């Protein structure tokens, strides 16, 4: 059993020996597909630039080209990046050079933390106050529209800050009942009750705790989707965008050094416009430079060149939600919900335009390198037509766009539509950038510390316990392999500098179990027991001590992992794994060796 | 080979009044230092910005300071970090200067630009920015982690051993934590998240030691027929002394390795742990055991509870 466990540990730690290939990764933006045609053109570009490469891989969402060295990597990025254009992202990557047979059993190398590989870490906070503000404004608008629609007369509807509710002032007791009844039926997730503290006829509408939680979650999830989208544009090989706690988002961009650019892109604002396609305009004339004054020409849209009216039918901030699904024929569609104001605008607008085509324009403001007189960066407005569809009938608050292409494209469109209605702004509350040289230095320093510490302990144990020391040393080496194997096996476990410190500490403390056992054996020998008995008793009586000592330390490590953040977590995980593996190697492992060497024989003195 | 070849029991407990006074003195000293000198909290806990820059040649700190002045960071600290070519610049959070957080976010990039303008060999090694709210949160979290750890350990040891041991070992842990943090306060070494991790690891290490000793004391209480509590504890400590020393040595060896070659970022961590190992070894002998003894631990407390036979206290019905 010991041999098998060790073999598995060694197998899974093996990928770490193979190192990494410098690679170029190509992925598509906004639904641009990755296929063998793209691959062929990439390969052709490389051939033309006379850059040799080891291997090219094509998966559903990316192309990976492994290159011979990092000089070629930079050259290749330039060559490919220039030719592919804006719809593809070309990123530098380090692809693990794990052999296929190891890859097949799921063995992957250790993931390194940002402090070891260099990169940027952002912690962003979603402005929940703003999210709630927007929800209240939304409530006011919706209630007004609906009560009017139901012909329930009210004096005012406005937010009551102190009561954290929307106050509806009505005119009579009957109206209160009717309104309360109506609102309760119409809206889920709110409590509607009469305000008895005033002499007026006032209703208060409050959000339930669940509803508030839903708004919070929505605000965070929405920001995460948008950030993911933008991070893809940055061309980062393995970005991490993850929720942390109630209202925070962690963004980790390995390998990115230019934080200023990263922040610009992450902080870019995006909006959407709905505009009519100019059906009277002459497209071919416009393409030749004669654009009608009321319209604007978009040459490189996804649907080919289109001529759109300048007049905006509806702006994207009215969009509450957009999701992708399938229609009754199994074709992908995008469902859009508008707020009440947007709904009536849309309804009025589409009434007269049934049969006409409507386009969705995605607008992003990005910072450029140019500065204005005040030293502020000029913003570049980037407009893109992301969808053109025919208006089938009068549209209301909820409508759908069909015929937008594949399911992936519908999904993307929904994402972009939602981006137009970012309900809560975010801000960076923590930022850590580690330069590439520092990352490499940290790895070197960590490795040196592990090796030096390991060497010192090996020598000490050998001198102090002689042959038994040798046994302990074998166990210690096995332990190191096991730690790395287990760390590689756990998905999501990353090795950080404090993590290396944890490994070093484990090396020092792992021998403790053997020290306990060996000291016991010595004591037993002193009490004039036979060597065999001494070994047996030594292991037996030391066991409960070792277990107790390790379990308590393990408790401490687990708490560290649960409560701590960042460096503490990295340290805790290696410590916890180290304790578990050291228990195994130091007790079971050494016992197996000891039994194999000294077991079943008559021995007169032990080398201990 | 053996470190100490002990034939006789060392009378550890005979000087326990002296060591208790010594420990108290250290604790009071640490607390006094917290009160007067305070702790040099790192960026993680205070919030603010930090930039590490390296130059091709020895950095001119004066020149960098004047650049910082121009940028409006008069209170920025500029110092060498590790070598004369590396410089660490720290800035307090910009909360009161009437500037928004958006400004402070860009600080790192802005200063990096000015520094490259001053000397084009300047390369960014790391930039950190921690918002003030995050800082105080991390501090709370750290404190919470420490308290939870101590309480959970208290419960486990109380369950596994006996409450007197639990109180003894948790006191020993608190003792170690206070004195280790005290050392950082006295020496003015920066206390950041990594050091916090080290302090928590000290808890783990010291506990390890304490448990081993307590385990032996318990065993000997059950095994040894004669001798009072003090003698039994002395014997147990003597028996485990070799193991205690060997483990401390191996752990200290790896920590020295970390301290020497582990790099600048890990120095605080290694210092805290190295000191913690020494103090933890001491406390497992003198704090944990002597508190358990002071609380009146005795043979009876550790005897497995004898199940009383039902009706044993009644007279037999039949004569």
Same domain, B241 and B293: yes
The larger pLDDT score, comparing residue A481 to residue A368, is at A481
Is position B82 within any domain? yes
- Whole-structure pTM value: 0.72
| Least confidently predicted of A66-75, A419-428, A564-573, B153-162 | A419-428
pLDDT band at B98 (very low <50, low <70, confident <90, very high): very low
Q: Out of B91, B112, B130, pick the residue that ends a domain.
A: B130
Same domain, B126 and B204: no
Q: What pLDDT does A379 receive?
A: 59
B158 and B292 part of one domain: yes
Angle between helices A209-234 and A259-266 (to 10 degrees): 130
Bin A255: left if φ > 0, else alpha if -120 < ψ < 50, else beta. Answer: left
* Closest-CA residue of chain A to B44: A430
Please report the number of interchain residue pairs, chain A to chain B, with beta-carbon separation below 8 angstroms. Answer: 236
Q: Do B123 and A509 touch (CB under 8 A)?
A: no
A557 in B contact zone (CB under 8 Å) = yes
Option in A263, A434, A552 nearest B207 (CB):
A552
B6 or A437: which carries more pLDDT confidence?
A437
How big, in percent rounded to 5, are the helix, strand and coil portions of chain A?
50, 25, 25
Tens digit of pLDDT for each residue in B52-91? 888 888 888 888 888 888 877 777 888 888 788 888 888 8
Token output for B201: 């690891």
Contact state of B250 with A457 under an 8 Å Cβ cutoff: yes
pLDDT bucket at B97, cuts 50 / 70 / 90:
very low
Q: What angle do the packed helices A2-13 and A436-489 form, to 10 degrees?
A: 150
Are A449 and B266 an interchain contact pair (Cβ–Cβ within 8 Å)? yes
Does A459 reach chain B within 8 Å, measured CB to CB? no
Check residue A422 and give its pLDDT.
Answer: 58
Asked if B106 lies within 8 A of A435 by C-beta distance, the reply is no
Joined tokens for residue A333: 């569609």
Cross-chain CB nearest to A430 (options B130, B200, B249): B130
Tokens of A556: 């401490």
The minimal CB distance from B254 to the residues A427, A435, A505 is found for: A505
Among the partner-chain residues B1, B149, B253, the one whose CB lies closest to the CB of A453 is B253
Average of per-residue pLDDT across B140-162: 82
| B110 and B198 inside one domain | no
Query: Among A114, A444, A568, which would you mutate to test the B interface (most chain B Cβ atoms within 10 Å of its Cβ)?
Result: A568
- Whether residues B158 and B267 share a domain: the answer is yes
Find out whether A334 and A410 touch, Cβ atoms under 8 Å: yes
Instruction: Identify which of A429, A447, A568, A257 has the alpha carbon closest to the alpha carbon of residue B126.
Output: A257
Residues B267 and B210 in one domain: yes
Closest CA of chain A from B44, distance in Å: 9
Determine the residue of chain B that is closest to A524 in CA distance. B239
- Residue B166 has a pLDDT of 86
Residue of chain A whose Cα is closest to the Cα of B7 = A526
- Contact call for B208 and A552, based on CB within 8 A: yes
pLDDT over 80 (residue A20):
no
The reported pLDDT for the residue numbered B96 is: 46
Task: Return the structure tokens found at A585.
Answer: 């190697």
Q: Report yes or no: A549 at the B interface, CB cutoff 8 Å.
A: yes
Interface test with A, best of B263, B271, B277, B280 (most A CBs within 10 A): B263
**pLDDT, mean of residues A572-585:** 89
Q: What is the pLDDT of residue B102?
A: 45
Chain B residues closer than 8 Å to A564 by CB: 141-142, 145, 197, 200
| Structural domain contains residue B85 | yes
Interchain pair A449, B261: CB under 8 A: yes
Residue of A nearest to B43 (CA): A430
Quote the CA–CA distance of A302 and A384 in Å, as a whole number. Answer: 8
pLDDT digit string, tens, across residues A297-346: 887 666 678 888 888 888 777 887 777 888 888 888 888 888 888 888 88
Q: How far is CA B173 from CA A512, B166, B185, B210, in A?
A: 19, 11, 18, 9
A458 touches chain B (CB under 8 A): no
Using an 8 Å CB-CB cutoff, list chain B residues near A432.
126-129
Question: Where is the domain boundary, B68, B95, B130?
Answer: B130
Residues of B in contact with A453 (CB under 8 A): 253-255, 257-258
Q: Are residues B92 and B241 in the same domain?
A: no
Does B269 sit within 8 Å of A498, measured CB to CB? yes
Cβ of A552 within 8 Å of Cβ of B109? The answer is: no
Mean pLDDT for A400-423 is 69
User: Looking at the structure, do residues B235 and B262 belong to the same domain, yes or no?
Assistant: yes
Which of A435, A449, A567 comes nearest B125 by C-beta? A435
CA separation, residue A474 to residues A186, A471, A488, A585, A588 (Å): 72, 5, 21, 9, 12
What is the span of the domain harbouring residue B186? 12-40+135-302
**Quick check: B186 pLDDT over 90?**
yes
Decide if A519 and B246 are in contact by the 8 Å CB cutoff. Answer: yes
pLDDT recorded at residue B26 = 94
For A30-34, A250-254, B69-73, B108-112, which range has the lowest pLDDT when averaged over its residues?
A30-34
Mean pLDDT of A393-416: 76
Cβ contact (<8 Å) for B207 and A553?
Answer: yes
Do the beta carbons of residue A437 and residue A424 sit within 8 Å?
A: no
Asked if the model's pLDDT at residue A374 lies above 60, the reply is no
Minimal Cα–Cα distance from A420 to chain B, Å?
Answer: 22
Examine the fold and report which residue of B100, B130, B160 is the final residue of a domain before the chain moves on.
B130
Question: The domain spanning residue B215 has which CATH number?
Answer: 1.20.1640.10
pLDDT above 70 for B304: no
The answer, yes or no, to whether residue A250 has pLDDT greater than 60, is yes
- pLDDT score for B99: 42
Q: Is the pLDDT of residue B141 over 90?
A: no
Residue B192 lies in a domain: yes
- Would B71 be classed as within a structural domain? yes
Number of separate domains in chain B:
2
Chain B nearest-CA distance from A502, in A, is: 9
Note whether B109 and B256 are same-domain residues.
no
Question: Is residue A435 less than 8 Å (CB to CB) from chain B?
Answer: yes
User: What digits encode the pLDDT tens for the residues B263-292?
Assistant: 888 888 899 999 999 999 999 888 988 888
**Given this model, what pLDDT does residue A420 score?**
55
The fraction of chain A above a pLDDT of 90, given in percent, is 4
| Residue with more model confidence, A608 or A404 | A608
Q: B257 lies in a domain?
A: yes
Q: What is the pLDDT of residue A113?
A: 83
Q: Are B246 and A515 in contact (CB under 8 A)?
A: yes
> How confident is the prediction for chain A on average, in pLDDT?
81
- From A77-86, A491-500, A507-516, the region with the lowest mean pLDDT: A77-86
> Cα dist. A155→A143, A147, A163, A279 in Å?
12, 11, 19, 45
Burial grade of A475 (CB within 10 A; 0-12, 13-18, 19 or more): buried
Which of A 345-374 lie inside 8 A of B, CB atoms? none
A120 pLDDT band, cuts 50/70/90, is confident
Closest chain B C-alpha to A602 CA, distance in angstroms: 23
Question: Do residue B70 and residue B160 come from a single domain?
Answer: no
**Alpha-carbon gap, residue A414 to A419, rounded angstroms:** 9
> Is the per-residue pLDDT at A24 higher than 60?
yes
**Considering only alpha carbons, which residue of chain A is nearest residue B148?**
A559
A500-556: pLDDT as tens digits: 888 888 887 788 889 999 988 988 888 888 888 888 888 988 888 888 888 888 888
Q: Are residues B61 and B111 in the same domain?
A: yes
**Spatial CA neighbour of A198 closest among A157, A159, A158, A170:** A170
Is B124 contained in some domain?
A: yes
B145–A445 C-beta distance less than 8 A: no
Q: Chain A window 181-220: which residues touch B at a Cβ cutoff of 8 Å?
A: none
Note whether A122 contacts B: Cβ–Cβ < 8 A: no
Averaged over A350-369, what is the pLDDT? 76
Nearest residue in chain B measured CA to CA from A122 = B129
What residues in A contact B196, CB-CB < 8 Å? 568
Q: Which residue of B has its CA nearest to A503?
A: B254
* Yes or no, beta carbons of B160 and A548 under 8 Å apart: yes
Indicate which of B81, B134, B254 best probes the interface with A, i.e. most A CBs within 10 Å of its own CB: B254
CB A445 within 8 A of CB B260: no
Q: What residues in B contact A553, CB-CB < 8 Å?
A: 204-205, 207-208
Residues B151 and B208 in one domain: yes
């Amino acid at each position: 059993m010991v041999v098998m466990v060790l073999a598995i540990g060694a197998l899974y730690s093996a990928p770490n020996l193979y190192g990494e290939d410098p690679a170029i990764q190509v992925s598509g933006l906004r639904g641009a597909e990755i296929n063998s045609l793209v691959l062929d053109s990439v390969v052709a570009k490389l051939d033309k630039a006379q850059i040799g490469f080891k291997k090219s891989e094509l998966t559903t969402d990316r192309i990976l080209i492994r290159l011979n060295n990092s000089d070629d990597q930079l050259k290749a990025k330039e060559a490919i990046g220039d030719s592919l254009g804006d719809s593809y992202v070309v990123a530098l990557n380090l692809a693990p050079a794990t052999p296929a047979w190891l890859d097949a059993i799921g063995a992957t190398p250790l993931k390194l933390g940002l402090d070891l590989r260099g990169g940027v870490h952002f912690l962003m906070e979603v402005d929940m106050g703003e999210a709630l503000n927007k929800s209240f404004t939304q409530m006011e608008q919706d209630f007004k529209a609906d009560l009017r629609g139901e012909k329930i007369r009210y004096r005012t509807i406005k937010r009551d800050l102190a009561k954290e509710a929307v106050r509806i002032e009505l005119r009579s007791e009957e109206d209160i009942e009717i309104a309360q009844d109506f609102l309760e039926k119409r809206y889920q997730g709110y409590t509607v009750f009469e305000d008895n503290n005033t002499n007026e006829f006032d209703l208060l509408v409050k959000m339930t705790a669940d509803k508030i939680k839903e708004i919070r979650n929505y605000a965070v999830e929405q920001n995460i989707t948008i950030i993911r989208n933008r991070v893809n544009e940055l061309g980062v090989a393995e970005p991490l965008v993850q929720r942390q706690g109630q209202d925070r988002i962690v963004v980790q961009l390995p390998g990115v050094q230019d934080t200023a650019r990263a922040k610009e892109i992450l902080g870019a604002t995006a909006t959407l416009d709905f505009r009519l396609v100019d059906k009277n305009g002459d497209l071919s004339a416009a393409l030749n430079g004669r654009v009608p004054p009321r319209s604007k020409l978009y040459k490189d849209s996804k649907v080919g060149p289109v001529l759109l009216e300048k007049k905006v039918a509806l702006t994207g901030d009215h969009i509450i939600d957009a999701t992708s699904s399938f229609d009754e024929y199994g074709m992908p569609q995008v469902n859009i919900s508008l707020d009440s104001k947007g709904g009536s605008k849309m309804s009025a607008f589409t009434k007269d335009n049934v049969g006409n085509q409507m386009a969705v324009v995605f607008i992003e403001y990005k910072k450029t390198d140019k500065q204005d007189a005040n030293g502020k960066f000029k913003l570049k407005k980037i407009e893109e037509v992301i969808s053109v569809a025919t208006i089938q009938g009068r549209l209301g608050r909820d409508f759908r766009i069909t015929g937008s292409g594949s399911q992936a494209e519908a999904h993307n469109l929904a994402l972009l539509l939602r981006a137009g209605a970012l309900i809560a702004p975010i801000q960076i509350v923590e930022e850590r950038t580690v330069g590439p040289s520092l990352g490499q230095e940290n790895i070197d320093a960590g490795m040196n510390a592990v090796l030096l510490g390991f060497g010192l302990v090996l020598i000490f144990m050998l001198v102090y316990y002689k042959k038994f020391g040798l046994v302990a040393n074998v166990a210690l080496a096995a332990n190191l392999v096991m730690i790395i194997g287990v760390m590689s096996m756990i998905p999501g476990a990353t090795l950080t500098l404090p993590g290396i410190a944890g490994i070093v500490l484990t090396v020092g403390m792992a021998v403790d179990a053997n020290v306990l056992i060996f000291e016991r054996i010595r004591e037993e020998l002193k009490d004039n027991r036979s060597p065999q008995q001494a070994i047996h008793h030594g292991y037996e009586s030391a066991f409960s001590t070792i277990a107790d000592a390790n379990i308590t330390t393990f408790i401490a490590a687990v708490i560290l992992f649960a409560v701590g953040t960042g460096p503490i977590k990295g340290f805790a995980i290696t410590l916890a794994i180290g304790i578990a593996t050291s228990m195994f190697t130091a007790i079971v492992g050494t016992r197996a060796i000891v039994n194999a060497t000294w077991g079943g024989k008559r021995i007169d003195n032990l080398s201990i | 080979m053996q470190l100490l070849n002990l034939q006789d029991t060392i009378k550890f407990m005979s000087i326990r009044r002296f060591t208790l006074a010594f420990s108290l003195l250290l604790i009071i000293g640490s607390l006094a230092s917290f009160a007067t000198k305070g702790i040099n909290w790192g960026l993680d806990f205070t919030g603010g910005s930090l930039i590490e820059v390296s130059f091709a040649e020895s950095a001119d700190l004066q020149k960098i300071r004047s650049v910082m002045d121009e940028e409006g960071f008069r209170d920025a600290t500029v110092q060498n970090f590790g070598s004369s070519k590396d410089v660490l610049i720290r800035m307090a959070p910009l909360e009161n200067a009437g500037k928004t957080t958006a400004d402070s976010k860009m600080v790192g990039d802005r200063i990096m630009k000015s520094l490259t303008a001053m000397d084009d060999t300047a390369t960014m090694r790391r930039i950190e920015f921690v918002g003030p709210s995050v800082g105080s949160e991390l501090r709370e979290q750290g404190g919470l982690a420490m308290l939870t750890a101590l309480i959970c350990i208290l419960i486990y040891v109380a369950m596994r051993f006996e409450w007197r041991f639990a109180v003894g070992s948790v006191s020993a842990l608190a003792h170690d934590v206070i004195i280790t943090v005290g050392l950082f306060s006295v020496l003015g070494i920066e206390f950041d998240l990594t050091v916090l991790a080290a302090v928590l690891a000290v808890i783990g290490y010291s506990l390890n030691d304490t448990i081993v000793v307590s385990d032996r004391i318990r065993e000997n209480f059950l095994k040894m027929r004669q001798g009072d509590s003090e003698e039994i504890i002395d014997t147990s400590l003597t028996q485990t002394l070799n193991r205690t020393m060997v483990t401390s040595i191996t752990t200290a060896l790896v920590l020295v390795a970390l301290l020497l070659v582990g790099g600048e970022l890990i120095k605080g961590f290694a210092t805290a742990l190295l000191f913690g190992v020494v103090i933890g070894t001491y406390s497992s002998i003198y704090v944990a055991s002597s508190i358990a003894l002071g609380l009146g631990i005795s043979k009876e407390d550790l005897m497995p509870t004898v199940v009383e036979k039902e009706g044993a206290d009644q007279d037999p019905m039949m004569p």
